Chains A and B, each alone.
Chain A
Amino acid sequence: MTTRTTRLFDRQAGRLVEATLYPELPVWRLLQVESVWGPWRRSAVERLLESGTFAGEVPQHWHWDWTRKAVKLDLSGYRCVGIECAQEMQGLMMLAVGVYGARLPPSQGRPFVYVDYLESAPWNVRPLAEEPRYGAVGMRLLWAAVELSVAEGLEGRLGLHSLPQSEAFYGEGCGMAMLGVDPDYESLTYFEFDRPGAEAFLARGG
């Protein structure tokens, strides 16, 4: 497994810091990460709810469990990417490479990279953390997914279903095309990069 150097934004220090991108994490690493993230998430959500935070403000992914997602690594085409900084995993992303087909014309049905799950460590997410530690985790992971799509000959094509709280990030923040609500996938909104969209995203610089 060849790691790469990337950069995250250290919010406390107010500057970019070096981080390590792992392109293919093994199952045991996901179990290890969830053993840290899981209790952190649950404690943070309990604290928020006890303090009277409106339930709608709690991150919609707080129930995620990477030990359940880890089994997908046995499936062909699935891999998990991670970003580590300060000896802790700061973000995880589950990908299906060449498993599903794109929806945007003129590439409908052509293989692409599907982002199954993407999560930043709970201490990087407001309001789970009062003072989030690292920023740009989601952007770096999505960047890595688009680069992988290019490297695999899939021309940067990439798609995902977004939780409502993340729609602005993928649409306005990353410039992905919004294809509307998908009734076949938990009524979540579907986003996609076609080749020009992916090129524009990469051209913005890492």
Chain B
Amino acid sequence: MTAPGSPDVIEPDQAAAIFSFLVLFPVIRQAPRVYQLLDARMGTGAKLFLEAGKAKKAEVVVP
């Protein structure tokens, strides 16, 4: 049996980190898309809307 802490044992916190990465990777992957949108809108001086409630949108004016 391999002792905990040796290189070929995945500790629980390492497993959690790997799992989090696999789950969050698709979310993180979308970040460039959001920035692309922001860049595009900055060029036109348009507005961004974020969720502030069921019907309410928080308006972010991009100069």
Contact = CB atoms under 8 A, between A and B. Distances in A.
Interface residues of B, number: 16
Given A31-B24, A61-B54, A67-B27, 12 more contacts: A31-B27, A32-B27, A35-B30, A39-B30, A39-B33, A63-B50, A63-B57, A64-B51, A65-B50, A65-B51, A164-B55, A186-B53
A61 B49 CA distance: 11
Contact of B54 (A28, A31, A38, A161): A161
A68 interface: yes
Given A28-B23, A31-B23, A60 B55 contact: yes
Contacts of A163: 54-55
A188 interface: yes
Interface of B: 23-24, 26-27, 29-30, 33, 37, 49-51, 53-57
B39 to A, nearest CB: 14
